[in-house]
Amino acid sequence: MKIADLNLNLAPLPAPFPLVRGEVCASEWSAVALTIAENHGRLVTLWGSDDRHGEAGHFVVSAVYAVENGTLLWLDLPLPDQQLNYPDIAGIFPYASHMQRAVADLLGLVAEGASDTRPWLNHGAWPMDYFPLRREFTGTEVRDWPAVTDYPFVSVAGDGVHEIAVGPVHAGIIEPGHFRFAVVGEKTLRLEERLGYTHKGIDKRFEHLPASEGYRLAGRVSGDSTVAYAWAYCMALEAVWNWQVPARALWLRALMLERERVANHLGDLGALGNDAAFGFGLSQFMRLKEDWLRLNKTLFGHRFMMDRIVPGGVAFDPDTAACAKITAQCDAIEAEVRELHAIYDDHAGLQDRFLTTGRVTTELANQLGLTGLAARASGVPRDVRIDFPAPPYDELAVNIACRNSGDVAARVAVRFDELLESLQLLRQIVRRLPDGAVIAAPDNGMPEGRGAGWVEGWRGGIFVALTVEKENRIRRCHCHDPSWQNWPVLEYAAIGNIVPDFPLINKSFNLSYSGHDR
Amino acid sequence: MWKILKRIAKTGIATETPPDLQKVGAGETAATQRIHDEILQILGRALTIREVDAGSCNGCELELNALNNVYYNLEGLGIKFVASPRHADLLLVTGPVSRNMALALQRTYDAIPEPKLVVAVGDCAINGGIFGESYATLGGVAKMLPVDHVIPGCPPEPIAILQGILTAVRYRLGTRAAADSAGHA
Ligand code: SF4
């Protein structure tokens, strides 16, 4: 499909990848969605904003689609006459449902015709008529507010069917969320998730920060993806301010992004071993991860590299000795990972738990918009580094890691492949690192405007849509985590599996709660 | 199996001496033993911790998980994360307390038997951190629960968390000793 065929009035937006924006009316909103779906495009994210200025202006619902070869389409639907509803698109893209429910909670804008209109982020702990993203609220008002309320889960009835409720406080050291299993014996018939427990009002909080400082908050949307978020945020801001980032800084950002990927894959590979009762795997991989984080601390001054990507560049500059350390560590880790890979592959008990568990077929993955690492394990070869390459990825040939079986084994295999690929990329980055400054001063003032960032985090694509006002103010910042797409797929992956395999399936996706709840 | 054994032999023991006793220089065994003894003295058993993420960005959880790796070997010191609050002596809380988590946090606290300790881990748990206080978050844990000790950092590193846990336990030892001597007087 050509975007031109949509007959929309589109204008390019600043971003280091092809991005166009246009406005549509309510009838076009769902028609365009349908055309995009029919042509194998997909919804990247959906959010709402309050663009009322006194009596003027509108509420706006926005969606970003990935269409055609590497173009993103940003559509705004301004709602005229203080209207509070817009057409549902969850009938076309099922994974829009949670996003639409979040828009309803935060802005009071309702997707008309949607089959599920239960609150999603608002658990009843603030009034149902309080919409934090509306202009009239500061986000900090607190009255005598209610406590959380019950949630109407969908119940499954039948002979021998019973429910298991898990969370929000889980058994281990993990983020909070609630799972409701309907089971027969040990077999899962249905799983329903309830998220939103870690909702901390990040979207509203952005409005209280100078745009030049927002990267710190963006870097804390999901702690395990701090590099990817901070980069996506800075990418958006730099696009708006037409800020030219030095080449060396861009390469160093990629260096950190790959290091973040490696750290998380090391952790997950250990945890996946552990969830299959193979404690050896956990202790070995956690040791490697600790070595990795310690070198981060030495080189970047922070174990997770928080606040090291800053608007205009990066906040450190490695010397030759530091580069040599990175290469040496890549070599050492590669040797160890290869050895552990062979052990995982040989281990009958482990493979028995991994193979065919938590399957997501390619067809289902496409239907449900699965994205990132999990999608690649289900035969959907998508990777922002390849499909929407912003510098330096336009110069780095990334080999995509893909599997077709869509089970836990496939997600483990993809992690191994990506880990090794990242080590290869890291060595390449260090070798080809351009000379020069690592940060540029802004020389174009701080104009208003909108821009976007799009980065392949270790979990999947992280998208940031940013609208900046004059005087360094954030009008709206929307951060999208790939978990929005992937959490609903987990509900399907669990079906037909035994409950004791759920931790393993869950871990193989390792989705973000905080990134989703925001 | 052979490969696994080979790997284990090659890795050897990677555990490091615990933090605040390194300066004692009495060697690892002695240091570990001392921490053990202190914990036993205070609690009469191993120290068990229930962790609750009350709205964290997950950065603090990553570091808490790292405490269980072989370098820090938390369990080797007699400190253990447990699944049930009823088995716990200490509640570790991370994150700015989100309103959606407040009830679950309160219930977890209530389920922990007395005497119990509360430790707030990370800047968010101390005062809401970068997320502050809003319609969605209460801010620091102290807004809800009596906090015995705080561990600053974003996120605090594993060593700092370990030190903080030990300090909280010692603090309890101190207050108990004070209470005991008051009783004798
Ligand atoms: S202190 Fe930092 S790492 Fe910990 S939850 Fe808060 S933002 Fe995340």
- One-letter-per-residue 3-state SS of A56-95: EEEEEEEEEEEECCCEEEEEEEEECCCCCEEECCCCCCCC
A397 in the same domain as A281: yes
**Helix/strand/coil (H, E, C) string of A106-124?**
HHCCEEECCCCCCCCCCCC
Q: What is the pLDDT along chain B (185 residues), one digit of tens a residue?
A: 778 888 888 888 888 877 654 444 445 566 666 776 777 666 666 789 999 999 999 999 999 999 989 888 888 888 899 999 999 999 999 999 999 999 999 999 999 998 899 999 999 999 999 999 999 999 999 999 999 999 999 999 999 999 898 888 877 666 655 555 655 44
User: In chain B, where do the E strands start and end?
Assistant: 47-53, 79-81, 90-94, 117-121, 149-151
A224 in the same domain as A106: no
Which residue intervals of A130-197 are DSSP H helices? Answer: none
Three-state DSSP class for residue B8: helix
Residue A492 corresponds to which tokens in the numbers above?
A: 């399907």
Query: Which residues of B fall within a CB distance of 8 Å from A341?
Result: none
In-domain check, residue A1? no
A108 in the same domain as A219: no
Looking at residue B22, its pLDDT comes to: 47
* Residue ranges in chain A modelled with pLDDT below 50: none
Looking at residue A54, its pLDDT comes to: 74
Phi, psi of A467 (to 5 degrees): -120, 120
In-domain check, residue A464? yes
Looking at residue B117, its pLDDT comes to: 92
Structure ipTM: 0.93
Q: Which amino acid belongs to residue A373? A: L
Q: Which of A324, A344, A513, A512 is nearest to A419 (CA)?
A: A344
Asked if B123 is an interface residue toward chain A (Cβ–Cβ < 8 A), one would say no
Number of domains composing chain A = 2
Looking at residue B26, its pLDDT comes to: 47
Q: Give the CATH number for residue A23.
A: 3.30.460.80
Three-state DSSP class for residue A331: helix
Residue A515 corresponds to which tokens in the numbers above?
A: 């990134």
Cβ neighbourhood burial of B111 (10 Å; 0-12, 13-18, 19+): middle
Looking at residue A502, its pLDDT comes to: 93
Q: Which CATH class is domain B46-178?
A: alpha beta
Q: Longest Cα pair distance anywhere in chain B, in angstroms?
A: 64
In-domain check, residue A196? no
Looking at residue B185, its pLDDT comes to: 40
Give the Cα separation of B19 and B163 in Å (integer): 7
What b/e readout covers A483-515, taking b as 16+ CB neighbours within 10 angstroms?
Answer: bbbbbbbbebbbeebebebbbbbbbbbbbbbbb
Indicate the top mutation candidate among B52, B58, B124, B131 to test ligand 1's pocket, ranked by most ligand atoms within 8 A of CB: B124
Give the Cα separation of A57 and A217 in Å (integer): 28
Three-state DSSP class for residue A271: helix
Q: What is the pTM of this model?
A: 0.94
In-domain check, residue A217? yes
In-domain check, residue A67? yes
Domain C-terminal end among A112, A129, A146: A112
Give the Cα separation of A322 and B29 in Å (integer): 35
Indicate the top mutation candidate among B51, B60, B137 to test ligand 1's pocket, ranked by most ligand atoms within 8 A of CB: B60
The answer to whether the Cβ–Cβ distance between A173 and B8 falls below 8 Å is: no
Cβ neighbourhood burial of A223 (10 Å; 0-12, 13-18, 19+): buried
Domain C-terminal end among A43, A78, A112: A112
Looking at residue B175, its pLDDT comes to: 62
Looking at residue B24, its pLDDT comes to: 42
Looking at residue B13, its pLDDT comes to: 82
Query: Angle A30-A36-A37 (CA atoms, 0-180°, nearest 5)?
Result: 90
Q: Give the CATH number for residue A452.
A: 1.10.645.10
Ligand 1 centre to CA of B52 (Å) is 13
